[in-house]
Amino acid sequence: MPKIWFVGAGPGDPELLTLKAQRLIKQADAILFAGSLVSKTAMTWASECCDIQDSKGMTLKQICDWLINKAKTNATVIRLQTGDPSLYGALIEMIQPLDKAGIDVAVVPGVTSAMASAAAAVETLSLPEVTQTVIFSRVEGRTPMPEGESLEDLARHHCTLCLYLSITLLKKIQTALIAAGWAEEATILVVHKASWPGEEQIIRGTLSNIREKCKQAGINSQAMIIASPTLGARNWTELAKSKLYDASFAHRFRKAEKS
């Protein structure tokens, strides 16, 4: 029975593809990849006879029609998507036509750019007694935000914010975070093409100057924006430690040491 696999290509570095993703690419008969976002190096493992198509100029209907047509004559068809298919991947709107056509589907997760960006900058998204919450979101542009999910509303939690698809809206981010009580000197991290070999750029700044720094660096696409009270913790002189590794903290694998 034909099957279409929605595979996460990860953030850019082909070595960050999962082993399962690599195996499926090797055996794929046809691959439709999001060329505006997915590095062509992700096709490194594809066979010479694999039918590879770039979807960057295609509409949703054209994408679904291509997948359905290929599934009729091929055993393994892949829709290769940037990052993880479940996050900003238009997953459900692509799968619904396939369900109607009676075509089996499966999803292979991938590394999302928030994690790749934190790794590139050697930052943590959570810290004991600082924040234990991470919000993945975007700034309202042509796509409206649901009620209660404006950036200002989310920023009032003062936790970690990972903002996708918003690098051209840094002015809105500055306005929203300041209105939510963030200091103008709050640290902001921007990573362009996280993990892409030879193309990654890491920009560190503050809420007041990050927009200008990104302009100077020519960054206007494919960038992750992270605002978090944890940024820069690597250089803090005082840090609340995790209880898991505290010698005085007992758990089922270790007895507490007496002080």
The pLDDT tens digits of the residues spanning 102-150 come to 999 999 999 999 999 999 999 999 999 999 999 999 998 888 889 999 9
Task: Answer yes or no: is pLDDT of 255 > 80.
Answer: no
Average pLDDT over residues 214-221: 95
- Residue 81 maps to which CATH number? 3.40.1010.10
- Residue 146 maps to which CATH number? 3.30.950.10
**Domain end call among 76, 108, 140:** 108
Domain identity same for 124 and 104: no
| 45: in domain | yes
* pLDDT digit string, tens, across residues 50-59: 999 999 999 9
Do residues 184 and 205 lie in contact, with contact meaning Cβ atoms separated by under 8 Å? no
| 240: in domain | no
Residue 253 pLDDT class (50, 70, 90 cuts): low
| 250: in domain | no
Domain identity same for 136 and 80: no
- Give the pTM: 0.91
**Average pLDDT over the chain, rounded to whole?**
93
Tell whether the torsion through CA atoms of 140, 145, 148 and 154 is positive or negative.
Answer: negative
The label of the residue with tokens 């600082």 reads: 130
Domain identity same for 121 and 203: yes
Domain identity same for 77 and 55: yes
Domain identity same for 166 and 179: yes
Our count of domains for the chain comes to: 2
| 220: in domain | yes
Structural domain including 10 reads: 3-108
Residue 91 CA to residue 87 CA, distance in Å, equals 8
Task: Answer yes or no: is pLDDT of 250 > 80.
Answer: no
Do residues 125 and 118 lie in contact, with contact meaning Cβ atoms separated by under 8 Å? yes
Q: Which amino acid is at 251?
A: H
Domain identity same for 93 and 119: no
Residue 81 CA to residue 104 CA, distance in Å, equals 18
CB-based burial label for 147 (10 Å; 0-12, 13-18, 19+)? exposed
Residue 252 pLDDT class (50, 70, 90 cuts): low
**Domain end call among 51, 78, 108:** 108
| 255: in domain | no
Domain identity same for 56 and 17: yes
Instruction: Please tell me whether residue 106 adopts helix, strand or coil conformation.
Output: strand
Domain identity same for 14 and 101: yes
Domain identity same for 85 and 165: no
Stronger pLDDT, 1 or 29, i.e. the higher one: 29
| 241: in domain | no
Pairing label, strands 160-164, 134-138: parallel
The label of the residue with tokens 């997760």 reads: 109
| 195: in domain | yes
Domain identity same for 101 and 118: no
Domain identity same for 190 and 117: yes
CB atoms within 10 A of CB 59: 9
Beta strands in 154-200 (DSSP E): 160-164, 187-192
Query: CA angle, 1 as apex, 7 and 8 as ends, to 5°?
Result: 0
Pairing label, strands 201-206, 187-192: antiparallel
| 191: in domain | yes
Average pLDDT over residues 190-194: 97
pLDDT at 246 (0 to 100): 65
**Domain end call among 58, 91, 108:** 108
Domain identity same for 44 and 76: yes
pLDDT at 74 (0 to 100): 82
